[in-house]
Structure 1
Amino acid sequence: MPPLLETLPVGPDCAQWNVWGTLARLVVTEPAAVPAARTIVEDVLAAVDSACSRFRPDSELVRACRAGGSPVWVSPLLAGLVAVALQAARETDGDVDPTVGAALCHLGYDADLRWVVLRDRSSAPTSSAPPTGLPEPSPVAGWRRVRLQDCELTVPYGTQLDLGATAKAWAADRAARQVARRCRVGALVALGGDIATAGPAPAGGWRVRVQDQPGDPYCVVGVPAGAALATSSTVSRQWTVGDTTMHHIVDPRTGRPASRVWRTVSVAAFSCVRANTLSTAALVRGDRAVPWLTGLGAPGRLVAADGRIRTTGDWSAKEEAQ
């Protein structure tokens, strides 16, 4: 699953490593700060993983989902992450819904994607095997049924939460801010397609190449200090069930992968959570995404299944000459 590609070369001001099935990348304006900055980012990611990974049996989120509908006292960190996810659902009329966890498991995404892909390859049907169709949809409980009062979380019986649409973006925002504050540098933190910045930017801003897959159309944008950029994709995180290709953006109304109207949607905002919320919802909305983003005034770049590009807001003003 290639991450969003950047024009910045790997140099003394940069560190990168694999995490959460994608690539984490850290760039700072002072190379001497890289070791301390990386430790800060890794600490943030470890805390978020412990709080809300749905693949760890010891995570707080899994424990809350196994409580059978009973209230569970959770850490302020998990409470905050759930609150962010519920706010994203509210702002998108349920297009970004954290209760899609069971649907994702039903579709085969029930472990780290690396193992899902390996498992599917090892169990691929032979050419003589009959074709298999899309699995029957799994009901989505709906975000309004989740109850959060301070640090008391109640997840409906049988519901699995998946905070992937917001938690990774939140972690990028948090890590960039902490690096900038504690190391007193400008920082860019990229977690796959989620990019957050904080502190002073390099001269001319952070230059980011927006491209999901090699061969996809791309552009280079300038990201000003404190801004964020998120790219959501229907092609980067995918796997097969039988002879059906799945992807991880679930339409909560069907419990199935959203229609592939768009290969990718990129949105710029002043927080990565906001950018990712809009880019994910746009994939779910399909044909309705362009007028919706336009109405919000959100700078967006949408790549259709056939490679054609649509932009919204002032996205074109962010692009640099190639």
Structure 2
Amino acid sequence: MEAQAAWTVWGLDASLAVTDAGMLAAAQEIVQSVLADVELACSRFRDDSELTRLQPQLAAGAIVSPTLLDLVERALAAARWTDGAVDPTLGTDLAALGYDRDLVSVQVLPDDPRPQGSQPVPPAGSVRARRVPGWSRIRIDGRTLTVPADIRLDLGATAKAAAADRAATEVHSQLGCGVLVSLGGDLATAGPGPGSPGAAAPGAGPGAGPGATEPWQVLVQDLPTDPSQHIALDPGSAVATSSTQKRRWKHAGADVHHVLDPRFGLPAEAVWKTVTVAAPTCLEANAFSTAGIVRGFAAVEWFRSAGVTARLVDQRGSIVTTGGWPAESNIVEVRASRG
């Protein structure tokens, strides 16, 4: 029988579903252990995280742990897949916008004046100066990571997606049951789907036994007022939603959000309320959903030419789909594709 658990982590809603209720507690322990490892490796908001501790040494090159190295490599992969629309080198820009502590604190604290010498947030549609892509300046040699002194890494988005992938994989590997892990809009699955004959069998793989590919039922909706859609997600696939609605705060009198356009180091124009992408991994889904926000109107043709399975909701609530994502509002099967 399927069982679920929910909690809050990193200021985000987290949830877990497993196909064997007897394994829920063990599965949640595994997921939380993975999340703790990721946070300790790359959090911008913890003085004791590896990334914070090594920051002064990175310009000359520093040997990093396998966990941090893997997270940086995955972030750079996302940058390559999206031609730099997703860039893990925006830490300084986010801090300049007031996102220098966990988002809950940013949202509840009074509007901060911008740091001395920083530039004001320009209005949407204004002319912005382009910059050299920071991600292309990161160097990895074995376990030595080199980051130029003027760059500060922010692995938040890709690390969250990578954590969902890793947590789902670890639960299935250790317990054998089917699992769905959700972290603030990023969903990863592993093992057989709910209701499958082999769903609770230790060691059963994604294709074990008849009916082992029964899908997960997932609701795609950001805010209660947004158009909703139920999808049937193939086991072993992932879905990620990037939003310009939830993670917002006031800074220097401007309403800003957390998805930055790397070309300018400023919040991307909010053409889309949300962009949802289905892909083989949560990392890929998150990379393309974030890139969809950054690319704005141009994302539609890009997704269609690349075969990305996506659902984009504009500010009026109108929906555009690409890559075979069905437009119907009833339950539909979504097969992940990669651009």
Superposition TM-score, scaled by structure 2 size: 0.85
Deviations 1:86-141 (A, max 9, x none): 111111111100011100000110000111111136x69xxxxxxx9627999776
Look up the equivalent residue of 1:280 and give its one-letter code: T
Structure 2 match to 1:103:
93
Quick one: distance in 2 between partners of 1:275 and 1:212?
Answer: 16
Q: Report the alpha carbon displacement of residue 291 of structure 1 after superposing the two structures with TM.
A: 0.7
Q: Does 1:212 align with 2:204?
A: no
Instruction: Label 1:276 to 1:319 Cα distance change in 2 as closer, same or farther (>3 A).
Output: farther
**Could you say if the C-alpha distance between residues 271 and 68 of structure 1 is closer, same or farther in structure 2, counting changes exceeding 3 Å?**
closer
Cα distance in structure 2, aligned partners of 1:263 and 1:53 = 27
Residue type at the aligned position of 2:121: L
1:53 aligns to what? 43
CA distance in 2, matches of 1:99, 1:321: 39
Is the 1:186–1:200 contact (alpha carbons within 8 Å) kept by the matching residues of 2? yes
1:196 to 188, 208, 216: 188
SS in 1 for 2:218: strand
Deviations 1:200-230 (A, max 9, x none): 0014411111011111111010111101000
CA distance in 1, matches of 2:221, 2:133: 34
Aligned to 1:16, the other structure's residue is in SS state strand
| Equivalent position to 2:139, from 142, 147, 170 | 147
Paired residue for 2:282? 272
Cα pair 1:64 1:155 within 8 Å, conserved: no
Report the TM-score, using the length of structure 1 for normalisation: 0.89
Conserved? CA contact 2:87–2:262, under 8 Å: yes
Distance across 2 between alignment mates of 1:141 and 1:313: 28
Are residues 1:167 and 2:159 paired? Answer: yes
Q: How big is each residue's C-alpha offset from its partner over 1:18-63, in whole Å with a ceiling of 9 and x where there is no partner?
A: 1011011000000010110000000000000000001111111122
| SS at structure 2 position matched to 1:253 | coil
Task: Identify if the C-alpha distance between structure 1 residues 185 and 83 changes in structure 2 by more than 3 Å, giving closer, same or farther.
Answer: same
* Match for residue 302 of structure 1 among 298, 305, 312: 312
- Please name the residue that 2:65 is paired with: 75
- Of 228, 231, 235, 1:221 maps to 231
Task: Indicate the residue corresponding to 2:22 in structure 1.
Answer: 32
Partner of 1:231: 241
- Measure, in 2, the Cα distance between the counterparts of 1:318 and 1:70: 54
Unpaired runs of at least 5, structure 1:
1-10, 125-131
| Contact persistence 1:65–1:159 (CA under 8 A) | no
Percent same amino acid among aligned pairs? 49
C-alpha separation in 2, matches of 1:59 and 1:249: 23
| AA at the equivalent of 1:40 | I
Q: Which amino acid aligns with 2:139?
A: R
- Cα deviations by residue, 1:180-218 (Å, 9 ceiling, x for unpaired): 111110000000110000000014411111011111111
Which residue in 1 is equivalent to 2:108? Answer: 118
Contiguous gaps of at least 5 residues in structure 2: 114-118, 123-127, 196-213, 333-339
Amino acid corresponding to residue 54 of structure 1 in structure 2: R
Query: What is the DSSP-based 3-state SS (H/G/I as helix, E as strand, rest coil) of the residue aligned with 2:297?
Result: helix
Q: Going by fraction, where is helix more abundant, 1 or 2?
A: 1
Contact kept? 1:259, 1:286, Cα under 8 Å: yes
The AA in structure 1 aligned to 2:299 is: A
Larger RCO (CA within 8 A; separation ≥ 6): 1
Q: Which moved more, 1:144-153 or 1:190-199?
A: 144-153
| Aligned partner letter, 2:165 | D
Matched, 1:256 2:246: no
CA distance in 1, matches of 2:324, 2:252: 42
Q: Is the 8 A contact 1:44 1:174 kept in 2?
A: yes
Alpha-carbon distance in structure 2 between the residues aligned to 1:26 and 1:159: 35
Deviation track 1:284-307 (CA, whole Å, cap 9, x = no partner) reads 000110111111111100001111
Distance 1:205 1:90 in 2: 30
Tell me which residue corresponds to 2:171.
179
AA partner of residue 314 (structure 1): G
Asked if structure 1 preserves the Cα contact closer than 8 Å seen for 2:2 and 2:18, the reply is no
Partner of 1:5: none
CA distance in 1, matches of 2:287, 2:129: 23
